[in-house]
């Protein structure tokens, strides 16, 4: 493995893009930091950590948020910073966050008005998630030392049962809770000033309410969850397939996708499967409970377009197979940032 993995002296953007390069970097550089814990620790490379505490679990996750543009259709960095952390907790089965921390690094000259708008968005997202910011930290850096603003949030919750992203078994059904690719496509088309007919809006939203409904309906039959952020659905499913040593067969016709995302994907030459979502979850469910869980998710306002998109299979463990309706092919694991096709 080491021979085929190219060692680099400098960190590139691809090392933060959620693909193979990022995982390699984390494994090579940071994994050694994590000694075994009673529960899910660093070595699991899950959405967060879960540490046993009596008959409960303390679930912790942290995330630094940078996005350009800071304000985008459907949200802003403030909404993103709350939703991202609430969602990482929810994906571990912890849907009642006790509170969040918030550390902000601001560039000298940043407009105060923008900061207030961002604060209001954070408040709004906290209200939707039923949580609050309990402590924070503020730093200002000189002009050019940081690009605009960086927001880090850490979330803590207590859960009775923890759901990892490694729990799939052959036969399990894969639910995605709504249309894919909305966030990433909204950002990319905004960055490039591309006019697409129809509404391209980020889906950024806290999902703990929706996950609570799914867990209430499926109980122990909900066996794996993950939010397909950077790297999109493809990266997250690859991770789930790899950790559980199953293949995942995805039916393309079942993938919920907005018309605008589909069009943007064709124009930019970017597969919506590898594009970030900020308000969607992948839920792995035992087949017997799949319809019941799907119905519960669809009842929730954020889950109306949820669908069963695939099945865990014994063949080709660690791989994703896409049934295009015409034929089947593998979905390649992305290496780094998906760049728009040039010509």
Q: What share of the chain is helix, strand, coil (3-state, %, to 5)?
A: 35, 25, 40
- Closest separation in Å from C-beta 316 to other proteins: 6
Is the backbone peptide bond immediately before 275 cis, with ω within 30 degrees of 0?
no
Residue 14 or 300 having the CB closest to other proteins = 14
Site for other proteins in 258-287 (CB under 8 A): 259-260, 262-263, 269
> Stretches 121-129, 139-147, 216-224, 333-341: which one binds other proteins (CB under 8 A)?
333-341
CB 219 within 8 A of CB 93: no
- Residue 1, interface with other proteins (CB under 8 A)? no
Residue 105 or 322 having the CB closest to other proteins = 322
Q: What is the dihedral of CA 67, 69, 73, 76, to 10 degrees?
A: 50
Nearest partner of 48 among 118, 100, 116, 125, judged by Cα: 100
- Closest separation in Å from C-beta 327 to other proteins: 3
- Closest separation in Å from C-beta 18 to other proteins: 15
**Helices and strands: H and E segment counts in the chain:** 8, 15
- Closest separation in Å from C-beta 330 to other proteins: 3
Query: Which residues does 78 contact at the CB level (< 8 Å), separation at least 6?
Result: 117, 118, 119, 120, 121, 122, 125, 151
Distances (CA, A) of 203 to 118, 159, 161, 283: 17, 26, 27, 17
Residue 77 or 274 having the CB closest to other proteins = 274
Number of residues that bind other proteins (CB under 8 A): 36
> Stretches 53-61, 66-74, 202-210, 311-319: which one binds other proteins (CB under 8 A)?
311-319
Residue 133 or 196 having the CB closest to other proteins = 196
- Closest separation in Å from C-beta 138 to other proteins: 37
- Residue 325, interface with other proteins (CB under 8 A)? yes
- Residue 255, interface with other proteins (CB under 8 A)? no
Sheet holding 149-159, edge to edge: 39-40, 49-53, 56-65, 149-159, 97-107, 133-141
Beta bridge partners of 154: 62, 101
Residue 60 or 261 having the CB closest to other proteins = 261
Nearest partner of 186 among 176, 198, 168, judged by Cα: 198
Site for other proteins in 168-227 (CB under 8 A): 196-198
Residues that bind other proteins (CB under 8 A): 4, 6, 14, 21, 196-198, 247, 249, 259-260, 262-263, 269, 311, 313, 315-316, 319, 321-332, 335-336, 341-343
């Amino acid at each position: 493995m080491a021979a085929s993995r190219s060692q680099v002296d400098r960190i590139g953007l691809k090392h933060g893009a959620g693909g193979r390069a990022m995982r390699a970097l984390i494994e090579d550089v940071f994994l050694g930091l994590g000694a075994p814990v009673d529960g899910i620790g660093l070595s699991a490379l899950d959405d967060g950590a879960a540490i046993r505490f009596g008959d409960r679990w303390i679930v912790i996750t942290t995330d630094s948020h940078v996005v350009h543009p800071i304000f985008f259709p459907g949200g802003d960095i403030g909404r993103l910073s709350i939703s991202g952390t609430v969602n990482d907790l929810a994906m571990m089965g912890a849907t009642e966050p006790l509170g969040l921390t918030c550390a902000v690094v601001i560039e000298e000259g940043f407009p105060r008005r923008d900061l207030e708008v961002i604060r209001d968005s954070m408040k709004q997202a906290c209200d939707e998630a039923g949580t609050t910011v309990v402590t924070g930290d503020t730093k200002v850096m000189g002009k050019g030392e940081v690009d605009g603003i960086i927001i880090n949030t850490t979330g803590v919750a207590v859960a009775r049962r923890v759901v990892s992203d490694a729990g799939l078994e052959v036969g399990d059904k894969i639910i995605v809770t709504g249309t894919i690719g909305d966030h990433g496509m909204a950002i990319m088309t905004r960055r490039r000033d591309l006019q697409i007919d129809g509404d391209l809006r980020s889906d950024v939203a806290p999902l703990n309410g929706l996950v609570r409904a799914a867990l209430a309906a499926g109980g122990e039959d909900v066996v794996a969850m993950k939010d397909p952020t950077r790297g999109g659905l493809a990266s997250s499913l690859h991770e789930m397939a790899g950790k559980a040593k199953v293949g995942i067969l995805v039916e393309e016709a079942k993938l919920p996708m907005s018309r605008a995302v589909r069009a943007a994907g064709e124009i930019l030459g970017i597969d919506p499967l590898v594009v970030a979502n900020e308000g969607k979850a992948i839920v792995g469910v035992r087949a017997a409970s799949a319809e019941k869980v799907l119905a519960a998710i669809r009842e929730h306002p954020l889950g109306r377009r949820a669908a069963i998109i695939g099945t865990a299979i014994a063949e080709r463990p660690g791989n994703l197979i896409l049934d295009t309706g015409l034929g089947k092919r593998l979905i390649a694991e992305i290496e780094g940032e998906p760049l728009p096709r040039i010509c």
